[in-house]
Chains A and B, each alone.
Chain A
Amino acid sequence: MSTSARVPSAVPGEPADFRTVMAHTPEILGAFFDLYAAFWQSEVLPAQLKELTRIRNARVTDCGY
């Protein structure tokens, strides 16, 4: 596993992270945030349940980010 970002930040002066690397494709980034916001704003599932599953998924996939 790489210890540094394999694609640099697309935002000058900001470190590489999910948002700044995805910023290489601003249209995709915008559409992703729209979809992700819809997930979190939906009230069909309690926010606590969504957060628990998000954290568990990160653990199962060993994603420390």
Chain B
Amino acid sequence: MSFKDGSASSLPQMEQMLNARPELLQKYKDFYTTLCRDPSVPDRLRELCRLRVAAVHGCDAEWRLRDARVPISEDELRHLRSGNAGAFTDSEQAALSIAETLPFGQHQLEDDQLSEVRRHIGERGTVALLTECAFFDVVCRWKISFEIEARDRLVAEMPLDDGALA
């Protein structure tokens, strides 16, 4: 039985698979939820970065999730997909430059990129945002590696929908 198709559970595939390690699942949820609720990074900034990391990876399973609390227009989605950061505000561009670089260019991050993020959201926000982008990077790698199915999903509150992982 594979991880992917062995259950008729109504739980999302991500949660079904992580539930193979129940001792980790709750800690994983707790960590991810803590990241998504950190007040130092605006929800919209976090969601833009999550989607840009997904686009950089070409991870449809992550890209097709949407945080219901953060409406993003079709135009903005198109710009996120193509990497046209110029369509966004200064603070969003600063954050997106981190999301753009981190997945495959962590050694190319420049002092100026971090300084610009600090100017907008402070030291605490910068630490939180960098951690979030790094985690989104991990989630995309995980979903791609396990070939998690991609489907459109509006999540009540990232990363959880009615308590289940998206």
Contacts and interface: CB of A to CB of B under 8 A. Distances in A.
The secondary structure that dominates the B interface is helix
A24 B127 contact: yes
Interface of A: 1-2, 6-8, 10, 21-22, 24-25, 27-28, 30-32, 34-35, 38-39, 42, 44, 61-62
B131 A28 contact: yes
Interface of B: 21, 23-24, 27-28, 30-31, 34-35, 38, 40, 106-107, 109, 111, 114-115, 118, 123-124, 126-128, 131
A34 B27 contact: yes
Contacts, number: 64
Nearest to A43: B23
B34 A7 contact: no
Contact of A62 (B27, B28, B30, B107): B107
B114 A7 contact: yes
27 contacts: A1-B109, A2-B114, A6-B115, A6-B126, A7-B118, A7-B126, A7-B127, A8-B123, A10-B123, A21-B127, A22-B131, A24-B128, A25-B40, A25-B128, A25-B131, A27-B34, A28-B31, A28-B35, A28-B127, A28-B128, A30-B34, A31-B27, A31-B31, A31-B34, A34-B31, A35-B31, A39-B24
